[in-house]
Structure 1
Amino acid sequence: MTPTFDAEQTAALLPYPQLVQALRRAVAELADGAILCPARQVEPLQDGALLLSMVATARDIAVHKLISVVPNNPARGLPTISGRVSVVDAVDGTVRLVLDGATVTGRRTAALSMLGVEVLLGRAPRHVLIVGAGTQAANHAQALSELYPQARLSVAARSAEAAAHFCARFPFAAPALLSEPAPDADLVITCTTSRQPVYLHPAQAGRLVIAVGAFKPDAAEIGADTVRASRVFVDDPHGARHEAGDLLLAGVDWAGVQGIAAALAARPMADTEAVLFKTVGCAAWDLAAARTALARS
Structure 2
Amino acid sequence: MTSNPALLQTLSAAETVARLPFAPLVDAIAQAARDQAAGRIASPERLVVPLGEGGVILSMPAAASDLGVHKLVTVQPANGARGLPAIHGLVTVLDAATGRPLLLLDGPEVTGRRTAAVSLLALRTLLPAPPRAVLLVGTGVQAVHHVRALQALLPQARVLVRGSSPARAEAFCAAHAGDHPGLAPCPAGPVPDMVDAVVLLTTATEPVYDEAPRAGRLVIGAGAFKPTMAEIGPRTLAGSQLFADDPAGARHEAGDLLRAGVDWNLVRSLAEALDRGVDLSRPVVFKSVGCAAWDLAAARVAMTGG
The change in CA–CA distance for 1:147 and 1:268 in structure 2 (over 3 A counts) is farther
Pairing of 1:213-292 with structure 2 (within 5 A): 213-270=223-280, 272-292=281-301
Q: 1:254 corresponds to which letter in structure 2?
A: W
Name the SS of the counterpart of 2:112 in structure 1.
Answer: helix
* Greater mean alpha carbon deviation, residues 62-71 or residues 167-176: 167-176
TM-score (norm 1): 0.97
CA distance in structure 1 between the partners assigned to 2:196 and 2:12 by the alignment? 36
Q: 2:28 corresponds to which letter in structure 1?
A: A
CA shift for structure 1 position 178: 4.5
Residue by residue over 1:232-251, the C-alpha shift from the partner in whole angstroms, topping out at 9 and shown as x without a partner, is 00001111111111100110
CA distance in structure 1 between the partners assigned to 2:267 and 2:25 by the alignment? 25
Partner of 2:21: 15
Partner of 2:217: 207
Pick from 281, 284, 303: which aligns with 1:294? 303
CA shift for structure 1 position 114: 0.5
CA contact (8 A) 1:157 1:178 kept: no
TM-score (norm 2): 0.94
Residue by residue over 1:244-291, the C-alpha shift from the partner in whole angstroms, topping out at 9 and shown as x without a partner, is 111001100111110011111234544x21100001000000000000
CA contact (8 A) 1:131 1:192 kept: yes
Pick from 48, 51, 55: which aligns with 2:54? 48
CA contact (8 A) 1:88 1:95 kept: yes
Confirm whether residue 65 of structure 1 aligns to residue 74 of structure 2. no
CA shift for structure 1 position 122: 4.3
Partner of 1:128: 134
CA distance in structure 1 between the partners assigned to 2:279 and 2:138 by the alignment? 26
The change in CA–CA distance for 1:269 and 1:151 in structure 2 (over 3 A counts) is farther
Name the SS of the counterpart of 2:161 in structure 1.
Answer: strand
Partner of 1:38: 44
CA contact (8 A) 2:128 2:216 kept: no
Name the SS of the counterpart of 2:135 in structure 1.
Answer: strand
How many residue pairs align between the two structures?
A: 296
Residue by residue over 1:182-202, the C-alpha shift from the partner in whole angstroms, topping out at 9 and shown as x without a partner, is 111110000011121111212
Partner of 2:149: 143
Residue by residue over 1:128-159, the C-alpha shift from the partner in whole angstroms, topping out at 9 and shown as x without a partner, is 10000010001001000110000011000001
Name the SS of the counterpart of 2:304 in structure 1.
Answer: helix
- The alignment yields a C-alpha RMSD, in angstroms, of 1.2
Name the SS of the counterpart of 1:264 in structure 2.
Answer: helix
Q: 2:79 corresponds to which letter in structure 1?
A: N
Partner of 2:3: none
CA distance in structure 2 between the partners assigned to 1:76 and 1:269 by the alignment? 48
Partner of 1:117: 123
Partner of 1:174: 184
Q: Percent identity?
A: 50
